[in-house]
Amino acid sequence: MIWILKAVVQKTISFLPASQRINYFFQKHITKGVSLSDDWFEDKLIHCNSHFAAVKKYGNQASGIKVFELGTGWFPVVPLGLYLCGADEVMTYDLNSLLRDGNVKATVEKFKTYHKNGKLRQIFNGMDEERLNTLLACEEKTTKKILEKFKIKAIVGDASKTQLPSHSFDLIISNNVFEHIYPEILKNILTEFKRIAKPKGVMSHFIDMSDHFAHLDKKITIYNFLKFSENKWKWIDNSIQPMNRMRIYDYRKTYSDLNIAIAEEKNREGNLAELKRINLAEKFSGQPLEQTAISHSLIISIL
């Protein structure tokens, strides 16, 4: 099966020197996982809308805000979108350096294309016209100059130990990143977020709880990885694209343990019929199926 082949390849790559560079080549040229597709771009614009709506609803201010993003990724769609919304500064943090000049330039051009065909205004709310014109006029070609132009700072480092000043950020966000962080590390990161957030700062996190191998292999369901015991999963999982397999009740408990109140939780129900066809591992079998089936969530909280 395709997912098994990908798992074997990524597991092998994870043990090699320069594993991130090798994985980039593998995903870009073999699995085609590194591409700025219309669907992916539009999804990230919707994420940006939701993040900004959260800070306007729950935060102390809706303009001039400072944003911390966990997980920079290959294409800085959300940071550019937040710039258009009026963010004063976006600091995007990642454990690895993933940005490439060509990808960053392609992101700017994607915004221009969507503006030209009218889709940008259809999908994306609350743009500052002056900032939009600045983006449309941008001809910079390097990552450094593009990020500087749009008040974005990309930092490579451990988000659980940022060494940033306390009470610095109005909004802390992530986009399908939490599912790649193991539980104890996630607790440390959320603890750090509590420290660097301003009083009544807002957190807004999208979480994709599906089996990511199913994104490539349509012969398995998004619940396929829930059939493996912890020991078996350790042999399958890898450090290139780890999956913690946490379900919505695990995230709720993590927030509760850290005394982080959830203001809003927006869940995608998932497919209960598909889940019932999986012989669940003991770790998941004792939980309510409706909760285990939830595949995506947006968790908003006030710090």
Reported as a pLDDT band with limits 50, 70 and 90, residue 49 is very high
Instruction: Give pLDDT tens digits for 91-130.
Output: 999 998 889 999 999 999 999 999 999 999 988 877 899 9
Spatial distance between the Cα atoms of 67 and 90, rounded to a whole number of angstroms: 5
Say how far apart CA 22 and CA 26 lie, in whole Å: 6
Maximum alpha-carbon separation in the chain: 56
Q: 118 CB contacts (<8 Å, ≥6 apart)? A: none
Q: Please give the pLDDT value at position 34.
A: 63
Domains of the chain: 35-209+246-302 (3.40.50.150)
Model confidence, pTM = 0.94
Can you give the pLDDT at residue 15? 83
Residue 147's alpha-carbon distances to 37, 99, 155, 291, 295, in angstroms, are: 21, 11, 11, 40, 33
What gap in Å lies between CA 137 and CA 116, rounded to an integer? Answer: 13
For the ranges 117-131, 132-146, 162-176, 194-208, the lowest mean pLDDT is seen at 117-131
- SS3 state at 280: coil
